[in-house]
Amino acid sequence: MSKQANAPSTPVALPQHVAPCATDPVLPPRLVVTDLDGSLLDHHTYDFSPAAPWLARLKQLGVPVIPVSSKTRAELIPLRELLGLTATPFVAENGAVIGLPPGWCHARLDRPGSACDGVVVKHTGVDVGFIGARLKIWRERLGLRFTRMSELNTQQIMQLTGLDEARARAAQRREGSEPLIWQDDEKAIEAFRRALAGDGLELTQGGRFWHVMGRASDKGSAVAWLIKRFSALRGSAPIALGLGDGPNDITMLEAVDQAVVIRGCHGLEVSPQSDALYRTEATGPTGWAEGVAHWWGRDNRQLAAAPRLPSATA
């Protein structure tokens, strides 16, 4: 059974400010993988300012922070800029797409990136066209009730998600998964799962949508691959911290050494099997900062939380 730490009753201190490149060579390498919506980003406003001091601290220490999201690659491009994470990899569409910046590429294994930022894109799953075709067949054959994102127009997506038009259009640019709105009962979900499994597909639940993707193209598989790549490049395995708030984050949280379940706004059960599990009291980016501080704010002087950084804004 997972050991769950109780949330602190006192406010979480913000991380200590240090000069750039202050990484201690004795400190074991570390790695952060994180969900975005409802975790690093506020579920409604997409603000991340409560987490900004820790993001800055981790960047100064040379600790990679990797977004692992249900968002598309097109959505993540501007978000990586906004969050200051352009030097780290990203995982899009719940694990179906992995993006590697130049510093994470292997000279013999990775072809040069074709994107303008030099990112090498790896598709771990199946083509989105195949997924759409199978969803159409199974909905008719099983008489299921659901609506695919590809059947919604941009205005409808804006209303469902709160995204502006540009970001809503980016959300429609799918490469390896199909979000859908489930409108049937629980019994129908199980029949649907079995049908998808026969096609090599799987179904996972996010905060707003259900997602269909290739089998073994989940967040956990992508994170495990990135941890291996990090270990190969650095010569040693990192201590990996994962943070998420939804059921689709469970495999990611089970692939890391230390896990944080951020209190969600959706009421869905999130119970990863982990011996190092912490549940936050706060939601969104405030909970994100609470979770990082719980695991890494007390265990050594290099990461100790002490004086406050200036307030940050998104």
35 as an active site residue: the answer is yes
Q: Which residues contact 54 (CB under 8 A, 6 or more apart)?
A: 14, 15, 288, 289, 292, 293
Which one from 24, 35, 199, 275 is the annotated catalytic residue? 35
Residue 7: closest CA among 230, 296, 281: 281
Q: Which residues contact 189 (CB under 8 A, 6 or more apart)?
A: 182, 203
Encoded tokens for 257? 């050494």
Query: Please, what is the Cα angle at 117 between 115 and 122, to 5 degrees?
Result: 50
Can you tell me the distance from the alpha carbon of 301 to that of 294, in angstroms, rounded to the nearest whole number?
14
Encoded tokens for 87? 């030097």
What are the backbone dihedrals phi and psi of residue 243, each rounded to the nearest 5 degrees, phi first? Answer: -135, 130
Can you tell me the distance from the alpha carbon of 297 to that of 301, in angstroms, rounded to the nearest whole number?
9
Can you tell me the distance from the alpha carbon of 109 to that of 117, in angstroms, rounded to the nearest whole number?
19
* 207, 246 Cβ separation under 8 angstroms: yes
Listed in order, strand segments (DSSP E) in 7-132 are 30-34, 65-67, 90-92, 97-100, 120-123
Count Cβ neighbours within 10 Å for each residue of 126-144 and write b for 16 or more, e otherwise: bebebbbebbeebbeeeeb
3-state secondary structure of 218: coil
* 288, 55 Cβ separation under 8 angstroms: no
Q: Catalytic amino acids?
A: 35
